[in-house]
Each structure stands twice: as structure tokens, then as C-alpha cells.
Amino acid sequence: MTQSSLPRRSSSGIHAAIIMDGNGRWAQHRGLPRPQGHRAGVEAVRRVIAAAPELGVGALTLDCFSSDNWQRPPEEVASLFGIFENFLFAEPTLWIERGVRVTVFGRRDRLPATLLETIEYAENATSGGHRLQVRLGIDYSGRQTILRAARRLAPNAEPSEADFGRLLAEASTSQDVIPEVDLLIRTGGEQRFSDFMLWECAYAELFFTPRLWPDFAADDLESAIKDFRSRNRRFGAVAEAAAV
């Protein structure tokens, strides 16, 4: 029997992924334009990056812009890209100090050149970080990634999960293989994947909260991790205590 290729228990801490939803509603509730919600969302990103290492999180994957988000009004898309660019330009100094390494995954061929340059700058500047890896999904689609990886298979190929994981990394221009997600958090009240990390979430523990992303605090991350630690992960086997 073959074991899953993706590490089931990360040796370097929990891999938490977050679908950061609810920015638009947060702004609307305040009578503000949607981009104001995205700007407020950046503060929540700063908070979770700062809190993650102390909570035992070794990798933090953030859903920043899904490939389906191209369907939004061009002004909103442009404001999001501007926000990403400012953020990735401003943060590396602090990240280097704190041992944070940032990598971006997703399609790069449709992003504005200035954003691309800033992504490369942030990735290079923080490449020595070992305390926390932050992965940002930008123009990422879980389904399209799987499809692109499948198209790269040689005829009659019988890839192991590890081989396919490498193809997935290539297909999402990820610098390294994305480890299995331990905990998937979605804010904003919706309870769906919205095409995020479909392969990597095979055994993810799911945590949904109505909290809108800009209101998400370090305490909320702590509650989610605490809840995660109380779960009994069986991966299809029987719990040790129940095994005869």
C-alpha cells in the first residue's frame, strides 16, 4: 500500500491556510468603497503573520486573489494589485528580522509587471527566513493547477503522489511543493473552498468563522489553533485507543 507523499504531520509546525473572506462586506457595512475593506484586510494579514510562529504555525498559506476574482470590476482588481504591491514592497525588512520567508504561487503571466517585480524582490529578500513560511496565492486556481499538472503527465505515466505534488508545484509556479494543509480557516461566514488548495486540503481540518477578515485578530487565530489541537485526526485509520 502506498502512503501519501505529502507529509501528514509537518515537522516544522502546523500548515494553516486561510481563505480571507469578507473584506467587501466589512467596507459596505461602514459605507466605504470595497477597496477600503481590502486595505483594512492587510492589517489582519500583518496580525496573523506576527502571531503565527508563537502558536506553532510553521507555514501560513493565504488566499489573496483567486483566478475567479478576475471577474470583479477592473477598478477593484487594480486596487487589489496595488495593495499587494505596496505590502510586498514594505514588509520584507520586518520579515527578515522575524525570520519570515515569503513565496507567491499562482499564475504569473497575467500579473502587472510592477507587481511581478515586487513579488520577485520580496521572495529574494526573504529567502533566508526559517521561522515561518508565508505563501501567498495570487491568481491561483486549485482546479486549473491540477488540470495543468495532469496535462504535463507523459502518456501512460503512473506518477506517485510525490511526483504529482512536484508537477502541481510547477503548475502553480510555486518554488517548492506545497505541503498538505493541516488547518483551513475561512472567515466571512461562507463554508466553501472556492477553488482553493483542493489537492492539499484532502485531510485538512476545517474551521469556519463569521468574523469578517479585517476584524480577524491574533486571538481568533489562537482559537482556531486551539480548536485544531482538540481534533482527532484519523486519516482513515482507527483512533489508536480504539485499535485492537
176 is catalytic: no
Smallest gap, in angstroms, from Cβ of residue 21 to Mg ion?
Answer: 4
Alpha carbons within 13 A on the beta-carbon side of 109: 3
Binding mask 57-96 for ligand IPE (x = CB under 6 A): ------xxxx--x----------x----------------
**Nearest CA-CA partner of 168 in 194, 191, 202, 134:** 202
First CA to last CA across the chain, in angstroms?
21
Which positions from 115 to 144 touch ligand IPE by CB under 6 A, shown as an x/- string?
------------------------------
69 carries an active-site annotation: yes
Closer residue to ligand IPE, CB minimum distance, 35 or 92:
35
Nearest-approach distance from CB 120 to ligand IPE, in angstroms: 21
Q: Rg of the Cα trace of the chain?
A: 18
- Cβ proximity to ligand IPE: between 67 and 126 the closer is 67
Question: For ligand IPE, how many residues bind (rule: CB under 6 A)?
Answer: 17
- Show the cell assigned to 117: 517585480
| Minimum distance of ligand IPE from residue 34's CB (angstroms) | 6
Helix axes 218-229, 34-51, angle to 10 degrees: 60
Residue spans of beta strands (DSSP E) within 112-237:
132-140, 183-186, 205-208
CA max distance for the chain: 61
Nearer to ligand IPE, 167 or 212 (CB): 212
Catalytic residue among 23, 63, 69, 219: 69
Q: Which residue(s) pair with 100 in the sheet?
A: 132
161: amino acid identity, one letter: E
Contact residues for ligand IPE, defined by CB under 6 A = 19-25, 63-66, 69, 80, 188, 190, 192, 194
Catalytic residue IDs:
21, 69
